[in-house]
Chains A and B, each alone.
Chain A
């Protein structure tokens, strides 16, 4: 029976859609099928290898997490929010959010709707043996609409398919525009694409215009809605009855094939690997190695979008762009040891790239893991800690608990005005406290951890822990965010409340124990990295400062706050580069012309004091104060 006879016979039987080509196959599907098969094999093998590299206990935790209702809900929410709709990008940069969700969500809907159409009208073709891999993608090529038999359901799908194709095309148009003028969409710097990225990128740009071409040429046979039929009329107007649809379907298939073949070597692998990373992330599995296991999922989940480029405080100087997280992850992926180490050591660990990453790739943690591979095994000798550290006036209360212990930390001892102010505030509130390191103590261990010396850090942590537990205190107050983070997260002090002094003092004010006089001083608050992004303390310092003066806004604050450049996180950043960062961070704070810059970290305090005096501003112009100094009045 010839195809025409088949169609005529089927037409007589009244179905809405007729399978135009009995074999359900045409040669043009080959490029797509090869590309797609290659990519699927690659990701299949990759997933198995990745899961095999994860420690057994973590792997069990991962499988279990897929059955815990709470995690399942979170997974679904994150998969829709992060992978398809890109809520996080929408919130920060609406234009970029629209662009990306148009491509991702639009394409997703085209694929899903395409499959639903096949399931409804020619269900037999979903079978892989009968072309299920390519048939739903090229559905319009293979079918013929039975004129006069189109139902409302059919028209509805035609409309949806055209609508989402248009939606994707607007996203693609924005993406092409972004390549030339990214700043209009809210990005100052964009990532430099690698060769594979370019191949995939240009094929991605071409896929959807070619799909429109192919489907509009075919619309005479397969039908369509406002877009494809409209364009089809235009072709008739231009070319009369000569419509070349086979070359268009070939071109469309070749572009798809190229895209999928280049995908494993390009940034676009994130489309699929993101899913695995989100599941692993929500299962609570942390990477222990900078390259293997979970880290690998994280590396492949990076979309190289480059949002971290504008986020990184080092990038006030263009020469430092190469140290950004996006390139760190690219070189990790390529196993480029020399570059990995140089980039890992440069970072300030301000954590902004992590906080703003659309898929929460924790690049600073990977950098620390990378540092540990070189530095953890370095020799050290802390035998002097074993004899016991004499805290200055720590009363030993044995098993009896109670009282407040204040631990100033190394850096606060370099700026003793903080210690004096804290003392004044505590006295004003009638707080009896012991001073753990009046004559200097032992480092908290965080700087060692930041340098990747985890074993050595465990030793100093042990020494401090012993001292604190023996003191019998109930509350441990810290004035340094670096100490606060490590005491809270690594010490495991049972029964002791670890609290930063901004929170403690805010509680004192809220409970009425401390009276603060409000002045007309215009105050801008700088969020220290370790306190804000590191520990999530944003509200308390602002609440307390709001009682003491008029809070004004910085240009960027909360999790967007700019590191002062004085961070201990960086191992190799030199003084001049740090001064540049301090300058830009200061500029950010002075956006609304405040009288006083207030911060809650001894390092930031010192950095900003220097930056203000170096900036050539008249003395007495802008004051730099510590949080406790402002509260003490």
Chain B
């Protein structure tokens, strides 16, 4: 396909070559719950900030796995840490610490 250098929608192509395993492992060491998520989306359904702006913890975790950490960071920047997601998570994930850890690990350097 000819690449014109622009498109109508941003590319949604996933490039796993860019996946930073070291950082992901660093995150998993800090908060092992990141591996536990089953992407049910309960967190997104109750999100306080989600009512006002496009944000989702489920998507952020997917974005990390799909080598798009900057997208995850942008989404989690809206988080108010209210903790509703931790109340509803069926897997008992410590969501607030997960969000803090993602921000810590991926915003550094």
A positions within 8 Å CB-CB of B: 345, 374-375, 378-382, 384-385, 389, 410-411, 413-414, 439-443, 445, 447-448, 451, 453, 456, 460, 568, 571-575, 603, 606
B105 to chain A, nearest CB (A): 11
Q: Mark B30-51, 1 if CB is under 8 A from A, else 0.
A: 0000000000000000101101
Give B64 Cβ to nearest chain A Cβ, in Å: 16
Residues from chain B with Cβ under 8 Å of A572 in the complex: 94, 97
Contact of A440 with B51 in the complex, beta carbons under 8 Å: yes
- Give chain A residues whose Cβ lies under 8 Å from the Cβ of B87: 411, 414, 603, 606
1/0 per residue B69-109: CB within 8 Å of A? 00001100111111110011000101011001001100100
11 A-B pairs with CB atoms under 8 Å apart are A375-B104, A379-B103, A385-B52, A411-B83, A411-B84, A413-B46, A413-B84, A414-B88, A442-B52, A448-B81, A451-B100
Q: Does residue B53 face the partner (Cβ distance < 8 Å to A)? A: yes
Pick from A374, A385, A389, A447: contact of B82, CB under 8 Å: A447
In contact, A414 and B81 (Cβ under 8 angstroms) = no
Which residue of chain B has the shortest Cβ distance to A381 in the bound complex?
A: B77
In whole angstroms, how far apart are the Cα atoms of A572 and B103 in the complex? Answer: 15
Q: Which among B51, B80, B88 is the interface contact of A448 at CB below 8 angstroms?
A: B80
For residue B49, which residues in chain A have a CB less than 8 angstroms away from its CB? 384, 443
Return the contact of A379 from the options B84, B88, B96, B107 (Cβ within 8 A): B107
* Total count of chain B residues near the partner, CB < 8 A: 26
Residues in A whose Cβ lies below 8 Å from that of B92: 574-575
Checking B46, B74, B78, B107 against A378 with a beta-carbon cut-off of 8 angstroms, the contacting residue is B107
Residues B77 and A443 in contact, CB atoms below 8 Å apart:
no
Q: Which residues of B contact A448 (CB under 8 A)?
A: 80-81
Which A residues lie within 8 Å of B94 (CB)?
571-575
Contact yes or no, B97 A571, CB < 8 A: yes
The residues of A that contact B48 with a CB separation of less than 8 Å are 410, 440-443
**B103 neighbours in A (Cβ, 8 Å):** 378-379
CB-based nearest A residue for B75: A381
* A-B CB pair tally, cutoff 8 Å: 82
Q: Which of A345, A381, A411, A573 has the most CB of B within 10 A?
A: A381
Bound: A379/B107 CA distance, A:
8
User: Do A374 and B104 touch (CB < 8 A)?
Assistant: yes
Residues of chain B within 8 A (CB-CB) of A378 are 100, 103-104, 107
CA distance A374 to B82 in the complex (A): 19
**In the complex, are the beta carbons of A447 and B52 less than 8 A apart?**
no
Binding site for A on B (CB under 8 A): 46, 48-49, 51-53, 73-74, 77-84, 87-88, 92, 94, 96-97, 100, 103-104, 107
Asked if A381 meets B74 with Cβ closer than 8 Å, knowing A374-B104, A414-B87, the reply is: yes
Residue numbers in B under 8 Å from A345 (CB-CB) = 97
Interface centre among B49, B87, B107 (most CB of A within 10 A): B87
Chain A nearest Cβ from B70, distance in angstroms:
11
B53–A447 CB distance below 8 A: no
| Smallest beta-carbon distance B108→chain A, Å | 10
Q: Across the interface, which residues of A come within 8 angstroms of B107, CB to CB?
A: 378-379
Residues of A within 8 A of B104 (CB): 374-375, 378
A379-B81 in contact (CB<8A)? no
Contacts beyond the supplied A410-B83, A447-B96: 6 A-B pairs with Cβ under 8 Å: A380-B77, A411-B84, A441-B48, A443-B49, A443-B80, A456-B80
Tell me whether A568 and B96 are in contact in the complex, defined as CB-CB below 8 angstroms, given that A378-B104, A443-B48 are known contacts.
yes
Question: Closest Cβ of chain A: how far from B99's Cβ, in Å?
Answer: 9
Query: What residues of chain B lie closer than 8 Å to A411, measured between beta carbons?
Result: 82-84, 87
Residue of B nearest to A567 (CB): B83
Of the candidates A410, A573, A575, which one forms a contact with B84 in the assembled complex, judged by CB atoms under 8 Å apart? A410
Asked if B96 and A439 sit within 8 Å, CB to CB, the answer is no
Q: Complex formed: what's the CA distance from A343 to B82 in Å?
A: 22
Chain A residues within 8 Å of B79, by CB: 380
A389–B97 touching, CB < 8 Å: no
Across the interface, name the chain B residue whose C-beta is closest to A447: B81
Contact B81 A453 (CB under 8 A): yes
Complexed CA–CA distance, A381 and B88 (Å) = 24
- A443 surroundings in chain B (CB, below 8 A): 48-49, 80-82
In the complex, A447→B95 CA distance in Å? Answer: 13
Q: With both chains docked as a complex, state the minimum distance between the C-beta of B82 and any C-beta of chain A, in angstroms.
A: 4
Question: Which residues of chain B have C-beta atoms less than 8 A from A381's C-beta?
Answer: 74, 77-78
Minimum CB–CB distance for B37 against chain A, Å:
14
- Residues of chain A within 8 A (CB-CB) of B88 are 414
Q: Contact check, A384 vs B52: say whether CB atoms are below 8 A apart.
A: yes
| Residue contact A442 to B96, C-beta cutoff 8 Å | no
| A389 vs B79: C-alpha distance when bound (angstroms) | 15
Question: Is A442 touching B80 in the complex (CB atoms < 8 A)?
Answer: yes
A285 to B96, CA, bound (A): 31
Chain A residue nearest to B51 (CB atoms) is A440
B34 to chain A, nearest CB (A): 13
* Contacting residues, chain A, for B83 (C-beta < 8 A): 410-411, 447, 568
A385: chain B residues within 8 A (beta carbon)? 52
Q: Which residue of A lies closest to B30 (CB)?
A: A572
Bound together, the chains give a CA A343 to CA B23 distance in angstroms of 24
Q: Which 6 A-B pairs have the closest CB atoms?
A: A381-B77, A575-B92, A443-B80, A443-B82, A384-B53, A410-B82
Q: CB-CB < 8 A to B82: which residues of A? A: 410-411, 443, 447
Question: How far does the alpha carbon of A382 sit from the alpha carbon of B79 in the complex, in Å?
Answer: 8
- Expressed in whole angstroms, the Cα–Cα distance for A596 and B52 within the complex equals 38
- Which residues of the partner chain A approach B96 to less than 8 Å between Cβ atoms? 447, 451, 568, 571
Instruction: Give the Cβ gap from B63 to chain A, nearest Cβ, in Å.
Output: 16
Q: Are the CB atoms of A414 and B84 closer together than 8 Å?
A: yes
B94 to chain A: closest residue by CB: A574
Contact call A379/B77, Cβ cutoff below 8 A: yes
Q: Which of B46, B83, B97 has the most CB of A within 10 A?
A: B83
Determine the distance from Cα of A439 to Cα of B46 in the docked complex, in whole angstroms.
12
Return chain B residues, CB-CB under 8 Å to A453. 81
For A460, what are the chain B residues with a Cβ–Cβ distance below 8 Å?
Answer: 80
Determine how close the nearest CB of chain A comes to the CB of B97; give it in whole angstroms: 5
In the complex, which of the residues A345, A378, A456, A603 has the most CB atoms of chain B within 10 Å of its own CB atom?
A378
A375 cross-chain contacts in B, Cβ below 8 A: 100, 104
Query: Roughly how many angstroms separate A448 CA and B80 CA in the complex, as a whole number?
Result: 7
Known: A410-B82, A447-B83, A453-B81. A389 touches B52 (CB 8 A): yes
With a CB–CB cut-off of 8 A, which chain B residues contact A440? 48, 51
- Closest B-chain residue to A384, C-beta based? B53
Chain A residue with Cβ nearest B104: A378
Nearest residue (CB) in A for B83 is: A568
Give the residue among B73, B74, B97, B100 with the most A Cβ atoms within 10 A. B100
State how many angstroms separate the Cβ of A466 from the closest Cβ of chain B.
14
